[in-house]
Amino acid sequence: MMKKLLLIVNPCSGKKRANRVLTDIIAVFNRGGYDVSAYMTAARGDAAEVVAARSEEFDAIVCVGGDGTFNEVISGLLSAGSDTPVGYIPAGSTNDFANSLKLSKDLLQAARDIVDGTPRPLDVGRFNDRYFSYIASFGAFTRASYATSQSLKNMLGHFAYLLSGVKEVAAIRSKHLRVTLADGTVYEDDYIFGGASNSTSVAGVLTLKEDMVDMSDGLFEVLLIRKPRNPVELTGCVHALLSQKYDTPMLTLAATNRLEIEAPADMDWTLDGEKAEGTERYVIENLHHAVNVITNLK
């Protein structure tokens, strides 16, 4: 008996390259023993709604799109309390989460890897009442994730984020935050960037060393960047990030499973590249082994 698979496709992701091989992707799953039902998203929130409503009907759910679409699939699963395994065929512009998982950039190979793969438990983040798969962040560079137009992303891909990020550097504004970790450690200062992540890459601009990140250890890596007081400090900060040497007074890097943040209410965040409205208090929690992602890692 064939297993049932729900294929969630964002036809606007990346350069729309998935649309050209969609029938081939379905054929890969058919040959792998799956009866495929395809759903094409038409608006933001579509993927979350259909997954929440129908996840229990299927043996697996596969997302074809970018990190934002994958975020919706994960959100739909968690809101429904479903443990249906999920696969990811990365067809977006940057695919930070997929890169951290070392998923193939070849769409058909990514499909074959799902057929041959096994579910792997991974952590997910909860940001107040919303979910994220790999990053919750504010400040410099993060606005580029949701402010860059889809047409520019499609034309220039990863370079579009770099262009938007460069524009932000010229207009960096700090925010005063009080951050309390699960062990009671408190950090309070003026910051130009902050993030709780479960990934080695953030918008293709900031990176963490691979040996620092375990996507299923129940912990987030928390990175805070203080406001530079002069050009020398700014240069030192940039050098530390590019060289991945974080032992500088400008940076705070810590690991925790929970953090509380007090911040200005007008400070917006981004969750997996999607905008999240600001409020005065945030609770960010690591949901250990919350989802099962199908991978074929050796």
pLDDT of residue 142: 60
For residue 143, what are the contacts with CB-CB under 8 A and spacing of at least 6? 164, 168, 268, 270
- What is the torsional sign of CA 229, 235, 239, 241? positive
Write out residues in the chain with pLDDT < 70, as ranges: 141-172, 202-206, 298
pLDDT of residue 150: 46
Q: Calculate the CA 12 to chain-centre distance.
A: 18
Which amino acid is it at 174? S
- Residue 148 DSSP symbol: S
pLDDT of residue 206: 66
CATH superfamily of 3-124+291-295: Probable inorganic polyphosphate/atp-NAD kinase; domain 1 (3.40.50.10330)
pTM given for the model:
0.85
pLDDT of residue 143: 53
For the chain, which residues make up each domain, given as ranges?
3-124+291-295, 132-288
As a whole number of angstroms, the distance between CA 26 and CA 32 comes to: 10
Which two structure tokens, joined as six digits, stand for 218? 């129940």
Q: Is 267 left (phi over 0), alpha (psi -120 to 50) or beta?
A: beta
Which amino acid is it at 166? V
pLDDT of residue 204: 53
The CATH number assigned to the domain with range 132-288 reads: 2.60.200.40
As a whole number of angstroms, the distance between CA 18 and CA 240 comes to: 37
Q: What are the helix (H) ranges across the chain?
A: 17-20, 22-31, 46-54, 67-80, 96-100, 107-116, 143-147, 150-156, 158-169, 231-243
For residue 269, what are the contacts with CB-CB under 8 A and spacing of at least 6? 127, 136, 137, 138, 142, 275, 276, 278, 282
